[in-house]
Amino acid sequence: MKIVACYSNKGGVGKTAASVNLAYAFAETGSRVLLCDLDPQGASGFYFRVKPSQKLDNDAFFEEAKQVAKAIRGSDYDNLDILPANMTFRDFDVFLSRMKNSQSRLKKSLKAVGSDYDIIVLDCPPNISTLSENVLQAADLIVVPVIPTTLSERTFEQLLEFVEGQEATKVSKKKIAAFFSMVQRQKVLHGETMARMRDTYPKRILKAALPFSTDVERMGVNRAPVLAFASDRPSAKAYRQIFAEVQTRLRES
C-alpha cells in the first residue's frame, strides 16, 4: 500500500481537485484506491456524490478501525472508494494533541484499513498543524499544488522549512512533489515565478503544469473528476501528465 497526500499550507490552490483526479487516475489503472478526505469541508466526497457518515468522529477515526471501515463508501467508478469527511474532523488537532505518539496516529489508522487498497490518496486541509505532522509521517509522497505567484512561492518555502523541522522524525524533502496550478501563461508574473522556482527547486517541481481552466471549476457542477467528463480537454491532459510523474516518484520512493 502506498499513501499519496495532496497537501498545501495555502488554501484555494487546487488541492482537492488534484486529489479527486489523481484518485480517479490511479483507479483507471486497475489499482484499488481509497480517497480519504481529511478536510471537514468534505469537498472530495461532494465531488463523488458521497454523503459523510455522521457516526465517524475523532475517537473512532483514530482508535476504531471497524468504524472507519464502516464509513467507507463506494463511488460510481470501478476500484475507487471514498472515506468522506464530516464536520467533527475540524477537531482533529485538539484530539491528536492529547494522544501519545500523536505524530504517527494517522499512519496507524490508515494501515488498519489499508490492506484492502493499493493506493490511499489523502485530501488534506490547508494548514500547518498536528494533523500536518501526521500527514508528513504517513505519506510516501506529498503532492503540492502551487499557484505561480509570490505569495504561493512564499508559502511553499514555509512548507519546506516545516518539513526540515521534522528531521528528528525522519521526514524527507524527497517526499515533496510540487506542480504549478492554475497557470495563466499570458501573465508575466506567472512565467517569472515558474522559472525562478524551477531553478531554485529543480528536484521538487514536476515538469507538468495545470493551466487555469473552467473545466476544473465545473467539477462542482458535474460532481465528477475532470478526467471523467472532459477527458480530451487541456486540463485533463495536464492531470494525466502530473499523474504519470507521480507514479514515477512513487516507484522511486
Q: How far is it, in rounded angstroms, from Cα 62 to Cα 56? A: 10
Q: How far is it, in rounded angstroms, from Cα 217 to Cα 172? A: 33
Task: Return all residues near 199 (Cβ < 8 A) that are at least 6 apart.
Answer: none
CA dihedral sign, ordered 77, 89, 136, 210: positive
Placement of cell 514555509 in the chain? 158
Per-residue model confidence (pLDDT) at position 124:
94
Per run of 10 residues, the mean pLDDT along the chain (length 253 residues) is 95 96 98 95 94 79 84 95 90 78 78 90 91 90 96 93 71 89 96 96 96 96 97 97 97 86
Q: How far is it, in rounded angstroms, from Cα 41 to Cα 53? A: 13
User: Which cell is 158 given?
Assistant: 514555509
Contact predicate 118/25, CB 8 Å: no
Per-residue model confidence (pLDDT) at position 101:
64
Going from the N-terminus, what domains does the chain have, and what CATH number goes with each? 2-252 (3.40.50.300)
Q: How far is it, in rounded angstroms, from Cα 230 to Cα 215? A: 7
Q: Which one-letter DSSP state was computed for residue 67?
A: H
**CB count, 10 Å around CB of 207?**
11
What average pLDDT does the chain have? Answer: 91
Per-residue model confidence (pLDDT) at position 176:
94
Q: How far is it, in rounded angstroms, from Cα 205 to Cα 63? A: 36
CA dihedral sign, ordered 66, 72, 73, 76: negative
Placement of cell 501573465 in the chain? 187
b/e map 7-39, b = 16+ CB within 10 Å: bbbbeebbbbbbbbbbbbbbbbeebbbbbbbbb
